[in-house]
Amino acid sequence: MAMTNITKIFLVLNSGSSSEKFSLYEGEDEVCSLYFEGIEENGIKKFICTITRADGSEEVVDKKWDSLDVAFKEAKAIFEKEGFINAAHPLDGILVRVVAAGKYFSKNHIVDEKTFEELEKVRVTNPLHVPGTERGIKNAKETFPDVPVMVMSDSEALTCETRKDADYALPKEIVEEFDLGRWGAHGASYGYMMGRIQELGLLEKKMIVCHLGSGCSVTALEDGKPAYTSMGETPLEGLMSSTRTGSIDPTVGALLGEKLGAAEAIKLMNKQSGLLALAGSNDMREIIAGAEEDRVDAALAYNMFVDGVAGKIGEFAAKMGGVDAIVFTATIGERSIPVRNSVISKLEFMGFKLKNDAKMDKSKGYANIAEEGSKPVYVIPTNEAAYMIKKAAELLDAE
């Protein structure tokens, strides 16, 4: 993928509710990452850091912290000690991925006061994501006061005029008051995939891309542009995934909100549901193994997952009047032969069939795993960081 100024050095931040990941990039090359996570020690929560270097080697830092708030300053010290950033190689920017929420966050921005104002506005619909985002931005600005901090929208690549499903059938005044819309998510992945499909010369008129990882979504492309996507105002809408319910009767959400409070209900549906609730595990490999051992709960979880993906492909194919190619990406999409086989076996009536021994040939950067005579089924690895870095470089160059 073409880059604007390949030599820029960016720090990509992924803020979780109880973790912080820092990935340092020079151009599109990740040179080092740091992962701060919580552990229990004698009943007390502590935080540790694991360093992963470009050669894949890992090292746990011989130190523990009482709070995640120190992560940014500690990360700076580690990167400087390792020689990755210094006066000769300063950071060009810090990238904070922000959940798709409202018109403002459907675009990328260099952080200013308006960014914090807009985060407060979307806190009601995104109570799980906003605190981590705010923490990351504030700590970034305190630790690197002279470095631009950018919020990278998780819906930017999906927010375009070609989308045909961006609206909710709600009263206009409610939509405007809460700034509601089907913004979609996994936008960095879809943005990368749209460029990669073109680059590889694989573009078809009607394509469906399945991003299947810990979070799962499906997007339909017409002439390489997004037409339909499965996630909505938040990533909860659409497919069931590792810990999310996926689309659910709104009455259930309302009842849970009344009983637990809105924030706890949203947390339950996002963090304690999905595959985890059905099978006791959110790891697809464990669920497949359980299903093969005839565990009823694992089989139910697996079949519901496969039905959801195949059903969404079928829905989008109907809306587009057909589909010419299907793409699988993200962790499950790229690695799980059983999931791909199960999904495509339901779509043979549409002209898709997989090879019996469908494995990824990484030498080409993609694989067509379809049987001869079938419409193509591609496995294409995604690279969300590469897309965000490209967009961040464009944002800085536009200043």
- What are the tens digits of pLDDT across the range 304-361? 999 999 999 999 999 999 999 999 999 999 999 999 999 999 999 999 999 876 666 6
Mapping DSSP to helix (H, G, I), strand (E, B) and coil, where does residue 395 land?
helix
Relative to beta strand 44-53, strand 58-60 is: antiparallel
* Averaged pLDDT for residues 73-89: 90
Higher pLDDT residue, 220 or 385?
Answer: 220
Percentage of the chain exceeding pLDDT 90: 73
> Where in 9-154 does DSSP place strands (E)?
9-15, 19-26, 29-41, 44-53, 58-60, 93-98, 109-110, 149-153
> What domains, with CATH codes, occur in the chain?
9-159 (3.30.420.40), 203-384 (3.30.420.40)
One-letter amino acid for residue 180 of the chain: L
| Residue-level pLDDT at 357 | 66
- What is the Cα 337 distance to its own chain's centre? 21
HEC secondary structure over 183-200:
CCCCHHHHHHHHHHHHHC
Q: Which of 69, 92, 112, 154 is catalytic?
A: 154
* Statement: residue 51 has pLDDT above 90: yes
| Residue-level pLDDT at 365 | 84
Contact 375, 320 (CB under 8 A): no
Burial (CB < 10 A; 0-12, 13-18, 19+), residue 388, is: buried
| Residue-level pLDDT at 292 | 96
Full-prediction pTM beyond 0.75?
Answer: yes
Q: What is the dihedral of CA 96, 101, 104, 110, to 10 degrees?
A: 0
Mapping DSSP to helix (H, G, I), strand (E, B) and coil, where does residue 58 land?
strand
**Orientation of helix 284-292 relative to helix 296-320, angle to 10°:** 120
Place 5 in a pLDDT band, splitting at 50, 70 and 90: very low
| Residue-level pLDDT at 89 | 86
One-letter amino acid for residue 60 of the chain: V
The verdict on whether 397 is a catalytic residue reads no
Q: Average per-residue pLDDT in the chain?
A: 91
| Residue-level pLDDT at 134 | 87
Residue 42: count of CB within 10 angstroms of its CB: 5
Annotate 14-27 with DSSP letters as a single string. Answer: EE-SSEEEEEEEET
Place 4 in a pLDDT band, splitting at 50, 70 and 90: very low
| Residue-level pLDDT at 133 | 85
Contact 11, 95 (CB under 8 A): yes
**Structural element, H or E, at residue 251:** helix 250-260
Q: Which residue has the tokens 């909860």?
A: 236
Separation CA 251–CA 255 (nearest Å) = 6
Closest CA to 243 of 286, 287, 291, 280: 280
